[in-house]
Amino acid sequence: VYWRDTSVMIEGDSINSLQLHFYLNWMMTEGKKYNISDPKYFYSSQENNDLSTVSFGLSSPGSDLHSAMEAMVLAITLAKKKVQLCTPYFIPSDEFKTAMMIAVSSGVEVELIIPKKGDSIVVQQASLSFLKPLMKRGIKVYLYEKGFIHAKTITVDDKLAFIGTVNLDYRSFMINFEITSVIENATLLQQMSVQFDIDKEDSELLTIEKWENRPWYNRAFASICRLLAPIL
């Protein structure tokens, strides 16, 4: 099966934030402890090329702060022109759904790509159950047909990119250890825009008519799967 993914390489001073995040997670394990203050664990450079602005959004079990989801919600609600989202698993929180609806209602073009055929029937059907109200509000949904799309990205106005491990679902937002980079870089954003257009060409545009013409038992199964959404 063809596998489409997106990853990013972080260089420079920004990796110090990654090192700290790794340390905090490592300290929750039974791994050998180490001294984070040791300079050998951190990158140091006298150069300042200012190529990119990079930050990170996180999630972890037991945390009251869901910074990955909150950063995404904030960025989407502040969008002026377009928001492009790609995820293999789409089981959004109420906050995330509301942000998408607010954006499209304010004239922003919102496009979402998910796999046409997922690697979990239950998760895939649960994902489909969330789509109809979004499409009714004007959000364009594409089902990726070339293979399995595993990219977890968001771009906002070709100015801000989210790339990382965060799926647009409850588990990534609130339960798992996850991280997404938040990047401002014109070259990267251009590359992601081109790739999104390529992915759309390999996708089927889902419409409300297509959704409603599915067999009733498929729609019923999707609704049942949705009941499991908080634990998927």
Cα 110 from Cα 118, distance rounded (Å): 22
Cα 183 from Cα 84, distance rounded (Å): 15
Cα 63 from Cα 21, distance rounded (Å): 14
Closest CA to 7 of 180, 202, 231: 180
Report the number of distinct structural domains present in the chain: 1
- In this prediction, residue 35 carries a pLDDT of 83
- C-alpha pair distances (Å), 30 with each of 26, 33, 35, 41, 61: 8, 8, 15, 20, 17
Contacts of residue 154, defined as CB under 8 A and 6 or more positions apart, other chains included, come to 72, 75, 76, 83, 84, 85, 86, 161, 162
Cα 226 from Cα 107, distance rounded (Å): 29
- In this prediction, residue 230 carries a pLDDT of 55
pLDDT tens readout for residues 55-65: 999 888 877 77
Two structure tokens written together for 203: 């996708």
pLDDT tens readout for residues 30-71: 888 888 888 887 877 666 666 788 999 988 887 777 889 999
- In this prediction, residue 151 carries a pLDDT of 97
* Number of continuous H segments (helices) and E segments (strands) in the chain: 9, 12
- In this prediction, residue 47 carries a pLDDT of 65
Q: What is the pLDDT along the chain (232 residues), one digit of tens a residue?
A: 899 999 999 888 888 888 888 888 888 888 888 888 888 878 776 666 667 889 999 888 877 778 899 999 999 999 999 999 999 989 888 999 999 999 999 999 999 999 988 666 666 667 777 888 899 999 999 999 999 999 999 999 999 999 999 999 888 998 888 999 999 999 999 999 999 999 999 999 999 888 777 766 666 666 655 555 555 5
- In this prediction, residue 217 carries a pLDDT of 61
- In this prediction, residue 117 carries a pLDDT of 84
- In this prediction, residue 231 carries a pLDDT of 52
Cα 53 from Cα 51, distance rounded (Å): 7
- In this prediction, residue 14 carries a pLDDT of 87
Write out the residue range of the structural domain in which residue 81 sits.
Answer: 3-231
pLDDT tens readout for residues 108-129: 999 999 998 866 666 666 777 7
CATH number for the domain including 72?
A: 3.30.870.10
- In this prediction, residue 167 carries a pLDDT of 93
- What is the number of other CB atoms lying within 10 angstroms of the CB of residue 82? 16
Q: What is the value of pTM for the model shown?
A: 0.88
Please give the helix or strand (H or E) that residue 28 lies within, else none: none
User: Any idea which residue has 């989210």 for tokens?
Assistant: 162
Percent helix, percent strand, percent coil in the chain, to nearest 5? 40, 20, 35
